[in-house]
Structure 1
Amino acid sequence: MDDSRDAGLEPIPIPPATVKVVETDDTHGLFIIEPLPRGFGMTLGNPLRRVLLSSIPGTAIDWIRIDGVQHEYTTVPGVKEDVVDIMLNIKAVDIRSASDRPGKLRLEVDGPGQVTAGDIMVSSDFEIVNPELHIATLDSAKARLTIEMNVEQGRGYQPAAAHEGLPIGVLPVDAIFTPVRKVNYSVERTRVGQHTDFERLILDVWTSGAVSPSEAIRQGAQELVEHFFRFSTVTDSPTEDSGKPSWAAAIPASQYNMVVESLGLSARTLNCLKRAAIHKVGEVLEKSRSELLHIRNFGERSLEELDEKLELIGIKHPELRIDEMPSSDNESTDSLDLPLEDSTFEEKSEA
């Protein structure tokens, strides 16, 4: 048999898919992902496009208060635009936020002259991305326009009608939270060596400038990973509804898969968990309070420490709250504060 012919039939190594940045700036980016197995161009492109357009968090103005104005169907003395036009212009203000907290902005201008988004006074937490945006025109020397604006964090689009029970004088505004304005994708055939059944995904992304196209793609991909991760916890056994939420669905995958060493636990508590084959934060969360207390040498003090460390990373496990739960018989074991190598102390003393 001809070995050279056999060698020629061996498949060539397929390189992993890479993301190439063709062009990018503050508001537009063109990206190519290749090589992908056949069918994966649309499999990746379609959900990524949908997530980019709907689920990237952003910042927007959701209501305003104009001095001297009780409702939107009126005018402001000395201002060319009526209140509805002013609200439509404010709706288009793009904001970059340095935090995830809501806040307030303020606009105070005297006429005459053009009023733009750059005239809005902002705190260090916020930045106006499009300061050239026209808001109003003051056509009188006596004209004065004072507007208080409420800034919120959110995803997607929130119509003004979603606000209920606002006091008189507070005018709800349509809030466009998503910083992604447009996404196009296309799929082309490509080759790797002699193999021609591969695909290239071309992704075109436009944003408001509040986030860069590259950052939007990173956030969109992470969002998909977080949701697809839920399927990685599926088991062969039928799931019984225990009435408890699934922690895999309640926290980010990065936290669920975090190793317990990252919590900064004491050596005693950490060794107890590892000896019970608990190596990840998610494995801790899936345990009930009683199950944790049944771990040898793991008592109330260890439970309290674990609860404090979890709270530091933003996780509150209701079953670990000692002040809300009855005491356990294991508390006396924990109060001895014995090292692991002295775990036979109780047995000897009983003897």
Structure 2
Amino acid sequence: METIISLPKAPKVIKQLTPTRALLEIDKLYPGYGLTIGNALRRVMLSSLPGAAITSVKIKDVSHEFSTLPGIREDMVEIILNLKQIRFIVHGDEPQSATLKVKGEKEATAKDIKTSSQIEVVNLDAQIATLTTKNASLEMELNIEKGIGYVTVESRRRDKQETGVIAIDAIFTPIKMVKFDVEDMRVGEKTNYNRLIFDIETDGTIAPDEALKNAADLLMEHLKMIAKPAEASIIDGEPIEIKKEKTVKKETVKEDFDGAKMKIEDLKLSNRTQNILLINHIKTVANLLRLSKDDLLDMEDLGEKAVKEIKKSLGKLGLTLRQEE
């Protein structure tokens, strides 16, 4: 009977649809893991990746968001909606300020925003307003902050704002769209393994593959905390001791062997064999011991010669690969 959950291949970009949109594929997921991992990563990408956005604006001669300005086609509501679409890369964690001053008959775009060296405007062609007369002018001060997800004005607890400052709902997330599809694929004799395909579109402040990696890193940090031993609980001020069940040691499993915690690099394998293992997320000897010879041969570019090399290195430590049932 199978007792080990095999690990998938590393993600790879299979098609770059646009500079900000790509298809990424994860192969050889254990049956059922495509939906489990796909849904988790999608939710994290949409809700938890950091970004930067305009959180408030002060426009000359405008006291509230329902005002209008002479010589400007858009009203304040439209202008604020346009400001929400401007994407920034902010270096540092402190709030930053920027200004916009335009005069005459022209289109005001994000390219007209004057920023400090701490701020980069990504979508320079984003439209802000249309000035329709030679005497028209538009001046504004922008406050730009970093954050996570979508944050409404009501949820931001602030001191009373300066007169004329209009707070804006902030779209911090750098993700515009994420969807995924799960397909069955053959691994050895089994045909029910999963292939996970992500379709990711960002706002240009981060690449699609980087967004996937950051989401995975964030999930891993949470799972590492969950994997830690449970601490004593407290009920009514009194600590409750959590008893741990004793485990029975098995001679066939070398869990107590310190060498099983060694890194793959410590096996002194050839660079080619070592790189193939690392690409497939086999980073420790403990990971390697969970695999059989057939599992290794399923890895792309890893053949009999490399398996023989791995067995020899493990043999020097008194270890062996998992035996097929």
TM-score normalised by structure 1 residue count: 0.62
Q: Residue 113 of structure 1 corresponds to which residue in structure 2?
A: 106
Paired position in structure 2 for 1:239: 233
Equivalent position SS for 2:77: helix
Instruction: Percent identity, please.
Output: 40
CA contact (8 A) 2:34 2:182 kept: yes
C-alpha contact 2:20 2:207 (8 A) present in aligned 1: yes
Q: Is the 8 A contact 1:72 1:84 kept in 2?
A: yes
Alignment correspondent of 1:23: 15
Mapping of 1:199-238 within 5 angstroms?
A: 199-235=194-230, 238=232
CA separation of 1:123/1:113 partners in 2, compared to 1, >3 Å: closer, same or farther? same
Which one has the largest radius of gyration? 1
**Structure 1 spans left out of the alignment, 5+ residues:** 1-8, 244-351
Give me the whole-angstrom Cα distance separating, in 1, the residues matched to 2:116 and 2:108: 19
Q: Is the 8 A contact 2:99 2:142 kept in 1?
A: yes
Runs of at least 4 residues of structure 1 off by over 6 A?
A: none
Quote how far apart the aligned CAs of 1:238 are: 4.2
Of residues 54-63 and 141-150 in structure 1, the stretch that sits farther from structure 2 once superposed is 141-150
CA RMSD, 1 decimal: 2.4
Q: What's 1:193 paired with?
A: 188
Distance in 1 separating the partners of 2:38 and 2:216: 11
AA at the equivalent of 2:144? V
Q: How far 1:175 sits from its partner (Å)?
A: 0.7
> In 2, are the aligned partners of 1:64 and 1:173 still within 8 Å (CA)?
yes
SS in 2 for 1:44: helix
Taking the aligned partners of 1:101 and 1:226, their CA distance within structure 2 comes to: 25
Of 143, 146, 153, 1:153 maps to: 146
Alignment map for 1:1-351 (pairs within 5 Å): 16-24=8-16, 26-163=19-156, 164=158, 165-235=160-230, 238-240=232-234
Separation in 2, partners of 1:20, 1:64: 41
Deviation at 1:198, TM superposition (A): 1.0
Deviations 1:133-168 (A, max 9, x none): 111111222211111000010000011333452222
Q: Which residue of 1 aligns with 2:271?
A: none
Tell me how far apart the structure 2 counterparts of residues 16 and 140 of structure 1 sit (CA, whole Å): 61
Per-residue CA distance 1:230-273 (angstroms, 9 max, x = gap): 111133x7434789xxxxxxxxxxxxxxxxxxxxxxxxxxxxxx
Deviation at 1:97?
2.2
SS of structure 1 residue aligned to 2:123: coil
CA distance in 2, matches of 1:224, 1:54: 12
Q: What is the CA-CA distance between 1:193 and the residue it aligns to?
A: 2.2
Q: Which moved more, 1:92-101 or 1:13-22?
A: 13-22
State the distance in 1 between where 2:164 and 2:55 align: 14
* Partner deviation per Cα, 1:9-32 (whole Å, 9 max, x = no partner): 99xx96752222112353112111
TM-superposed CA distance for 1:220, in Å, is 0.5
Aligned residues: 233
Q: Deviations over 1:52-107 (max 9, x none)?
A: 00100000001000011111111122212111111111111111223333200110
Distance 1:199 1:72 in 2: 50
Structure 2 gaps of 5+ residues are: 239-325
More helix by share: 1
Structure 2 residue identity aligned to 1:234:
P
- Write the distance in 2 (CA, Å) between the matches of 1:174 and 1:93: 13
Q: Give me the whole-angstrom Cα distance separating, in 1, the residues matched to 2:93 and 2:101.
A: 25
